[in-house]
Amino acid sequence: MILRVTEQGRAQLQAAAIAILASIAIGSVMMLVVGVPPGTVWWAMLERTTSDPYTLGQVLYKATGLALCGLSVGLALDAGLFNIGAEGQLTAGVLACALMGTALPGDTPSFIAVPLCLFAAALAGGLVGAAIGALRAYRGAHEVITSIMLNAIVAALALWVGNAFLFQGGTTRGADIVKGAELPHLPFAGSAVNGTLIMALGLVALLTWLRSSTTWGQMWRAVGRDPDAARSVGIAVPRVQTIVMAAAGALAGLAAANFVLGHKHAFEEGLGRGTGFLGISAALLGRTHPVGIGIAALLLGLLSAGGLAVADLVPKELTEMLQGVVVLAVAAAGPWVARHPRAAPKDPVGQRAGKARAA
């Protein structure tokens, strides 16, 4: 079978490659500034990560949450919406997932407890996403502004619920979920990677099929390319935008399973914090394609967890800064490719982000 890459796909790959190479170059300069040979650090990060099952498991654990939040952002971008509310949607999912997990009877079997907790997480995140989508579709409120506001509201609500009802013994941790709701850890030397990874891989495959092989997928992408043209052929643009944002919120909410069901087994203040925002980087670096997002999440997980493996060579803060460098490189690569028609005629991701900024 011969794989054919379209001009648009070639442009997406080129932008991602430029972002990765630029990040490596800037990171190498930063390493030289602190007096460490870049080649030594990059090789040590790769070698120590792949040779140590625990560290590799931590990379996969980080990548799982990033992939689910990245899929959330990527799905919205496909429909012409910029979902920066994945952070709040994840927090809502963490709270709902933990509440369901602690409310169930102690002898609830896994085949009932796990789906119920997943449903609660997806529903909570989906409601937050639906509110953002409906405000944009029916009231004209920009999704970036409403997402920022809802991120703050959800974080404050979660903290209030924790203080009022959940936290025990003067801590910021709630009661443990029932045993039946716990997801099994994967065999990586006691690391935090768990069964949520399998779910994330399944969702990558599902979204890849939906966006490329179904009428519904073509519909939401048509809305993202040109809402007026989509409206002219009978597509209910506000309805599609609301549904897509609800689905995006549900994906971010499902990331709660990685932290609550698979790792901490309880609600904790700040659990999963930052994953929703870093998921934006995964979506942009992956050029909104589900498979690309999964690969980007793995690379970002390597920087996050692998950075700790080379803490004896470079300061931990440097590898954290590199994650920010990736964001900047991704933001710059798309418009650069779009300005060079020989390399690519258009950059749809950059156009959608530009529309969001302009609005």
The reply to whether CATH 1.10.760 applies to domain 37-313 is no
**CB under 8 Å to 150, separation ≥6 — which residues?**
85, 88, 128, 131, 132
| CA–CA distance, 142 with 29 (Å, rounded to integer) | 38
Distances from the Cα of 284 to the Cα of 7, 16, 312, 331, angstroms: 18, 8, 31, 8
Integer angstrom CA distances of residue 327 from 11, 23, 269, 343: 18, 9, 26, 22
Helix (H) or strand (E) holding 62: helix 53-78
Instruction: Kindly report the backbone phi and psi dihedral angles of residue 82, in degrees, each rounded to the nearest multiple of 5, phi listed first.
Output: -110, 100
- pLDDT tens over the chain, length 359 residues: 344 556 666 777 777 788 788 888 888 998 898 888 988 888 988 888 888 999 999 999 999 999 999 999 999 999 999 999 999 999 999 999 999 999 999 999 999 999 999 999 999 999 999 999 999 999 999 999 999 999 999 999 999 999 999 999 889 999 999 999 999 999 999 999 999 999 999 999 999 999 989 999 999 999 999 999 999 999 999 999 999 999 999 999 999 999 999 999 999 999 999 999 999 989 988 889 999 999 999 989 988 888 888 888 888 788 778 877 877 787 777 667 667 655 444 555 555 555 554 54
Domain boundaries, the chain: 37-313
Q: What whole-number distance in Å separates Cα of residue 181 and Cα of residue 316? A: 34
Cα separation, 157 vs 238, whole angstroms? 28
